[in-house]
Amino acid sequence: MVALVACSTEDGGAPPGSAAPTVRGDVREVAVVASGLDAPWSIAFHGGAPLVSERDAGRIVEIGPGGRAREVAVVDGVAPRGEGGLLGLAARDGFLYAYYTAANENRVDRFPITGVPGSLGLGPAERILDGLPAANYHNGGRIAFGPDGMLYIASGDAGNRGDAQDLGSSAGKILRLTAAGDVPTDNPFPGSPVYSLGHRNVQGLAWDAAGRLFASEFGQNTWDELNIVRAGANYGWPEVEGIARRDGFVDPVQQWGTDVASPSGIAIRAGVVHIANLRGERLRDVPVADPGGAVERMVGEHGRLRDAVVAPGGDLWVLTNNTDGRGDPADGDDRILRVAL
């Protein structure tokens, strides 16, 4: 096993070595869609209306005309601590799915969405998945529906590194379930929700036009990663971190030192993976046709970036995260930014 030092958080540590060179790029325009959000984590859309999770408050808010945030619900059972709380959202077929940290576990619930944009509400919760290990750090939290209609769930290792290699544990994995929470019959490990293993703390999931799943992942003190995820594959944690060229493990397509990355939410638009970075305070663009290259934008201009999503009209939206206890909030933080590249 590779010797690793004490566990790091979303802020990472100082890495040795260097990643592949990148270039700086500009943006044409950045417009504020909404401001005044409290530790926001994820954006999902229903009927064109954006819904945002606020990690520590456990709130889901709807963003209305003029950027006004209206409380839709407070999710019962959310127990925020450290990096845990109300995390990823996904919307599909009239339901809102939410990943959250409870008192002793991480869970995924779904809620029927009521009302119309401008007055959305949530019905009673239905449990989709529970028993995911939880801790102050490494809770994963991103959820997304793939082009196959299945729900993909990124779980962290919750500080127990060996669980990422244990097929009997749901920690340190990307999980795959039906929309109702059942295990699909074509999962790579029969009867198991596990889709891939050997992950430390995945917080970004997105698919390209060819149906390939990209995932962003926090490393420990050396390398953060961008992976192309295959069913049944092992991505190495904690045996390896970053590109290791070890038999039995799949290497990332790109890695970055943790001081310039901490990659969280990702979105794919027009053949480009857009990666929101926390500690690195930048939007990093990776072409899907050449995932070893990258362009960096907005470096240090808006602080910590938590999520990147494609809005219904095709615009790229980026969510800042300066009120999460680690940032330096400016007046009006946190914000949703519409970014024209």
Q: Provide the pLDDT for residue 1.
A: 29
Per-residue model confidence as pLDDT tens digits over 169-193? 999 999 999 999 999 999 999 999 9
Per-residue pLDDT band for 15 (boundaries 50, 70, 90) equals very low
Helix, strand, or coil here: 119?
Answer: coil
| Reported confidence tier of residue 22, pLDDT bands at 50, 70, 90 | confident
The helix, strand and coil proportions of the chain, stated in percent and rounded to the nearest 5, come to 5, 40, 55
Q: In whole angstroms, what is the distance from residue 141 CA to residue 330 CA?
A: 26
pLDDT-derived band at 6, boundaries 50, 70, 90: very low
% of the chain surpassing 70 pLDDT = 94
How many angstroms separate the CA atoms of 304 and 327, rounded?
7
State yes or no: pLDDT of 18 exceeds 70. Answer: no
Give the model's confidence band at 39: pLDDT under 50 very low, under 70 low, under 90 confident, else very high.
Answer: very high
Rounded average pLDDT over 87-113? 98
C-alpha to C-alpha distance for 42 and 55, rounded to whole angstroms: 9
What band does 20 get if pLDDT is binned at 50, 70 and 90? low
Assign 12 a pLDDT band (cuts: 50, 70, 90): low
Give pLDDT, residue 285: 97
Instruction: Tokens for 186, please give them.
Output: 């074509």
Q: How many CB atoms lie within 10 A of CB 314?
A: 8
Least confident of 7-21, 217-231, 271-285: 7-21
Tokens of 35: 């401001």
Residue 44 has pLDDT above 50, yes or no: yes
Is 14's pLDDT higher than 70?
no
Q: Which residue is listed with tokens 């420990």?
A: 220
Nearest Cα to Cα of residue 154 among 237, 59, 271: 237
- Dihedrals phi, psi of 260, to nearest 5 degrees: -120, 15
Q: Give the CA angle between residues 96, 99, 102 to the nearest 5°.
A: 125
Locus of tokens 């005309």: 65
**How much is the pLDDT for 17?**
43
CB 107 within 8 A of CB 100: yes
Give me the mean pLDDT over the 50-73 stretch.
Answer: 97
Other C-beta atoms closer than 10 Å to the C-beta of 204 total 26
Contacts of 293 (CB under 8 A, 6+ apart): 20, 22, 286, 287
**Does the global pTM surpass 0.85?**
yes
Q: Over the stretch 119-171, which tens digit does the pLDDT of each residue have?
A: 999 999 999 999 999 999 999 999 999 999 999 999 999 999 999 999 999 99
Dihedral pair phi/psi, residue 220, rounded to 5° = -95, -80
Tokens of residue 129, six digits? 């998945």
Position 197 scores a pLDDT of 98
pLDDT for 320 beyond 70: yes
Q: Which pLDDT value is given to residue 11?
A: 72
21 band by pLDDT with thresholds 50, 70 and 90: low
Kindly report the average pLDDT of the chain as a whole number.
94
Largest pairwise CA distance in the chain: 54
Q: What Cα–Cα distance (Å) separates residue 257 from each residue in 156, 214, 217, 241, 335?
A: 20, 19, 12, 11, 26
Sort residue 279 into left (φ over 0), alpha (ψ -120 to 50) or beta. alpha
